[in-house]
Amino acid sequence: MNSFVRYGIIVFLSFMLIFSGFKLYEVMNNPKMVKAEDPKLAYDYSSNIDYAVNVTPNDIYESSQLEAGQDYFVNLIDDIETNFHYQWNSQAAVNLEGTYSAKGVLQAFIGEGEDKEPIWTREYALIPEKTFSETNDKLEINEPYQLDLQPFYSFIQKLEEQSDVDTNTTLTVYWDVNVQGDTEFGGISESSTSTMTLPLYGKILSVGGSLSDEGTGDVGQNAMVKEPGQVRNTWLFISLIVVSLAGIISMLRFTEGYLERDSFKKDVNRISKKFGSRLVQIDEDHFSHTMKVLRVQSFEDIVRVSDDLVRPILYKKIAAHHITYYVLGEDYVYSYDLQTDADLPEEFIEPRKTM
């Protein structure tokens, strides 16, 4: 094999061996860990605010109570019946305890759109904080509340009269639930908030806000494990190490290189392949002293002499990189030396007169 090609392959395989070894060391000693969850108990919760609007006697509506999701005439509203519902479900019984409450936040704004700015805020405790404690796989909270808007409208009117400023005031009702749980697999901590927004300006009231909230969770035994890709990379680098090492050993053991500039081996292989049937190897070259040695310039000259004399081509290995080819004539020995300049012995620099 060409020495440059052989050397390049060995260098490449050596690089792959070193690189794979380094990456394998990195993966084995500094693995990327991720959290693997083995959930033991799953749970879910939800909360929502239901409401209906009670109106004063009038000639517009046949019913005294209007369903949710409508627009309501402010002058006809008596009060709003709300009911807060919270539900907890889990796969097994849990020791639950917590609190829930409702508050109203009255906030006045001036301007509209992006230019709207709050100028004052007031907070009201509609339902003071209540506690609960239960051990079960289900928990339900139902809390009704009769929301009377008249005190809020009266307060807004009073402030506008005192300040002589008309404001856009909004009442937001917050229902908050905080739950803590204790299980054999770990602790639980969840919170939920549902809101009802009531714009207290204008002659029409539209109820908005995030009336419902929900969530899920689980409690499990968390463990740190190797990232799945790390395991794949480990086997990849091991495979590259094995392939690289096997390739290097094979190249060193079963191949040898030659340089294109050293054409000795190429010429020997070319001659053997093309004229092998006409070559005869000899161990001794005791020719008659009366025969003169004629050195020719190329192996092709030896071939022509062999053809003209109808004689075989003899050859003898003088050294590792030196072969002499002969053709015996009647009075002459025709000779051609195939050798590298580095291995040329002094005695062969000048043609021999006799043999």
Q: DSSP character for 113? A: G
pLDDT in tens, 188-239: 999 999 999 999 998 999 999 999 999 998 887 555 556 666 777 888 889 9
Select the more confidently predicted residue: 91 or 28. 91
One-character DSSP codes across 65-105: EE-SSSEEEGGGEEEEEEEEEEEEEEEEEEEEEEEEEEEEE
Per the listing, tokens 């239960």 go with: 134
Note the pTM of the prediction, 2 decimals.
0.53
The rounded Cα 260 to chain-centroid distance in angstroms is 47
The residue assigned the tokens 């693995």 is 31
1-51 pLDDT tens trace: 667 788 888 888 898 889 888 888 887 777 666 665 566 788 999 999 999
| pLDDT of res. 20 | 87
Burial code (b: 16+ CB inside 10 Å, e: under 16) for 235-265 equals: eebeebbeebbebbeebeeeeeebeeeeebe
Quick one: average pLDDT of 109-120?
82
The one-letter amino acid code at 177 reads V
Q: In terms of C-beta density within 10 A (0-12 exposed, 13-18 middle, 19 or more buried), how is residue 226 classed?
A: middle
Distance CA 279, CA 301 (A): 15
d(CA 9, CA 251): 8
Report which of residues 283 and 143 the model is more confident about.
143
Give the pLDDT of residue 221: 59
The predicted structure's pLDDT at residue 130: 96
φ, ψ of residue 260 to 5 degrees: the values are -60, -30
Task: Report whether pLDDT(275) > 80.
Answer: yes
